[in-house]
Amino acid sequence: MRQEDREKAGGVTTTLTGLRKVLAAAGLESLWQIPGWQPAESIRLLPLGARTAPARGASKFGGDPDLPSGAVWPLIGKRALSFLAQIHLPDLKPFAAASGLPKRGQLWFFADTLDIPRKGGSACRVIYSTAATATLRSASPPVDASSTPLSDIFPVRAMRFQSILSVPERIPESLDPELREALMALINPEGIVHKIFGYPNRIQNPLTGKAGSETLLLQLDSDRRLDMQWGDAGRLFLMSSGRDPGGTEFNNCSVAIQSY
């Protein structure tokens, strides 16, 4: 599918009523009867049109992060992790999916996008801080002796948010092949979906483990508006095996890509 078509394509639902209608139309009403099958709320991240730099500390994709004074750019060996996105946490107050997060401060997402194994395991880091916005400073990635950045740099785009529902990424074995294909179309929608939390929109194998032991922190789709291309029209996933009770640290972070 062309990029223009992916930008216009839907494939996400915003309400439980809407999801019920979608499942009914696909002949998947029986999913509600399966123990443990339950959709989850996610927060969709939508890039705004202009490439003008957002205000300091504002939620955004790419550009230079607005880091707290004294913060060190995360590295893996001699290579800098790439800055992906910055979230101003007060923006998430209206969304139930963010109920476990602090109500103030910022989150910054970094990953080693220069070397992402297909099976995951590459380095990533999520930084949380409650530093006052006035104390944040725009930070540029480290460079080598020839002033070449040691990470990928993505164009800056402001973002807005939308509450959406995501369906479990595991397909019940009881479904016949036709219904399995219909459910896979919901798990892996045609449209571009950037989001935090909920179930991953996997393209290949499930990412959360059989016991659901991993949490989706951030999903970034291939999107020319952000100069992001993960394999062949794939998606990048930041996963974590644990988050502290206060929601201020993301532990055992890993990054993976899946594509066609």
16-40 pLDDT tens trace: 999 999 999 999 999 998 988 999 9
Model confidence band, residue 245 (pLDDT cutoffs 50, 70, 90): very low
pLDDT for 246: 45
Structure confidence at residue 79 as a pLDDT band (50, 70, 90): confident
Question: Looking up tokens 């929109």, which residue turns up?
Answer: 201
pTM over 0.75: yes
Nearest to 248 by CA among 104, 122, 136: 104
In sequence order, what are the residues at sequence separation of 6 or more whose Cβ sits closer than 8 angstroms to the Cβ of residue 1? 9, 190, 233
> Quick check: 219 and 197 in contact, CB under 8 A?
no
Q: What is the pLDDT of residue 60?
A: 97
Q: How confident is the model at residue 8 (pLDDT cuts 50, 70, 90)?
A: very low
d(C-alpha 176, C-alpha 19), whole Å: 20
Q: Do the beta carbons of residue 44 and residue 161 sit within 8 Å?
A: yes
Predicted confidence at residue 98, as pLDDT, reads 93
What are the φ and ψ backbone dihedral angles of 177, each rounded to 5 degrees?
A: -55, -40
- Which three-class secondary structure state does DSSP give residue 64? coil
Which backbone phi and psi does 181 adopt, to 5 degrees? -65, -40
Reduced to 3 states (helix: H, G, I; strand: E, B; else coil), residue 178 is helix
| Partners of 138 in the β-ladder | 66
Element at 160 (helix H, strand E):
strand 157-166
pLDDT tens digits, one per residue of 43-66 = 999 999 876 778 999 999 999 999
Average pLDDT (164-174) is 92
Cα torsion 165, 168, 174, 177: sign: positive
Beta-strand (E) ranges in 92-249? 106-111, 124-129, 137-138, 157-166, 195-196, 215-221, 235-243
* Residue type, position 234, single letter: G
From first CA to last CA, the distance across the chain in angstroms is 11
Categorize the per-residue pLDDT at 208 as very low, low, confident or very high, splitting at 50, 70 and 90.
confident
Coil, helix or strand at residue 51: coil
